[in-house]
Amino acid sequence: MRTRILLTTAVAVLLLGAGLVAVRLLGIPGSTLGEAVALAPADAQRYTFTDWAAVREEVGASASEGDLAELLDAGFDADLTSASGLVASAPLLSAEFGWSPATVDWELLAQSPEGAVEIVALGEASAESVTDRLAALGYQRPDEDDGVWVGGTELLAGIAGRTGLSATPTLQYVAVRDGLLWAGDRQPYLETALASTDGPAEAVADLADSFRESPAAAVVYTADHACESLAMGQADETDQATADQLLAAAGKINPVTAFAMGLLPGGDAEVLLGFENDDQARTNADTRAVLAAGPAPGQGGDFSDRFAVREVTAEGTMVRLSLEPEPSAFVLSDLSSGPVLFASC
């Protein structure tokens, strides 16, 4: 069993006492994840991100459509594909659309109650080659080059039926501009997203830009979504009672302002929790460290079955949990949906 280092708030403050510059160096402003999240609609509540270039590097796959099956299999085994909104449609994308996870740089799926938008960095694929495929598939060409190509339910169902391959609903409407492909399940929502300049809430943007390395795969949630999707209320009554006891023993907790979890290049994981102020972050660093090292009611067993806690630090209004996943553990896919005790609100 690996040694677990639980870095309490007091120790964390001493380590960071060299100055604010040291704190800033722990994150990497301008990360690929941060830049992707900044493009998303302001009303999005759930962001799931896959850096396909990083995934290919992690699993040793080349940027070639011929390596798609190998990439998906190896990426699944490494828990690097669970955040993708394109995996189920990858064979269709490769065969009919001329691009897929095998060749694009990254993707971000942003979801809100009003709709869902996929943003894809196309990498080496040219806008002309992508739009030529859309035209050949029967999408209605927009009046402007960067406008929305209209497919719709019937066209997409026809493509899926003809090929026998799965198609995600977000491929119904597509726009290509500035090296990015935007796709959505509702045309008005996609057009609103393309026109929006507001960006996400500050708490979400801060966490997305605060991983020590830009993650190969990650999820980022608003406070409302985190407190609903990760809630212990999803557990059965026995597990809820156990959770109440563990929470009472651990100490005070405060609701999060945002939640993020990512798998970093090399295999480590980080969980980032946002809070209203520095005092709450320091208090919750100690509490969450205890919870993350203990039982996992609702998930089964203990969290230590899934990961070792390397350190927990309070950095301004944020708490960072640095984790080392156990071999063959699916930390991101398992713990990006509830119940997750250490993410309790």
Q: What is the pLDDT of residues 24-76, one digit of tens each?
A: 334 455 689 999 999 999 999 999 999 999 999 999 999 999 999 999 999 99
Q: How far apart are CA 255 and CA 249, in angstroms?
A: 17
pLDDT per residue as tens digits for the range 98-144: 999 999 999 999 999 999 999 999 998 999 999 999 999 999 999 99
pTM higher than 0.85, yes or no?
A: yes
pLDDT tens readout for residues 175-225: 999 999 999 999 999 999 999 888 899 999 999 999 999 999 999 999 999
Q: Is residue 340 helix, strand or coil?
A: coil
On the CB side of 51, CA atoms within 13 Å amount to 21
pLDDT for 199 = 86
The closest of 248, 245, 240, 221 to 336, measured between CA atoms, is 221
Of 139, 143, 164, the C-alpha closest to 154 is 139
* Euclidean distance between CA atoms 242 and 339, whole angstroms: 12
For the chain, what are the domain ranges?
9-27+201-343, 44-195
The answer to whether 270 touches 262, Cβ cutoff 8 Å, is yes
Q: Give me the chain's average pLDDT, please.
A: 90
Torsion of the alpha carbons at 61, 67, 73 and 78, rounded to the nearest 10: 20
Q: What is the pLDDT of residue 196?
A: 86
Half-sphere exposure of 218 (CA within 13 A, CB side): 35
Q: Summarize the confidence of residues 152-174 as an average pLDDT.
A: 97
Q: Output the pLDDT for position 30.
A: 66
Per the DSSP assignment, residues forming a β-bridge with 269 are: 263, 323
Q: Which residues contact 14 (CB under 8 A, 6 or more apart)?
A: none
Q: What share of the chain is helix, strand, coil (3-state, %, to 5)?
A: 40, 20, 35
pLDDT higher than threshold 50 for residue 275: yes
For helices 237-250 and 278-292, angle between their N-to-C axes, nearest 10 degrees: 120
- 216-256 pLDDT tens trace: 999 999 999 999 999 998 889 999 999 999 999 999 999 99
Residue 145 amino acid letter: D
Q: For residue 338, what pLDDT is reported?
A: 87
Where is average pLDDT lowest: 19-23, 315-319, 335-339?
19-23
**Tell me, what DSSP letter sits at residue 99?**
-
In percent, the amount of the chain with pLDDT more than 70 equals: 91
Dist. CA 89–CA 91, nearest whole Å: 6
Query: Is the pLDDT score of 6 beyond 60?
Result: no
How many angstroms separate the Cα of 51 from the Cα of each of 104, 109, 140, 262, 297? 9, 12, 30, 11, 31
Cα–Cα dist 313/23, whole Å: 11
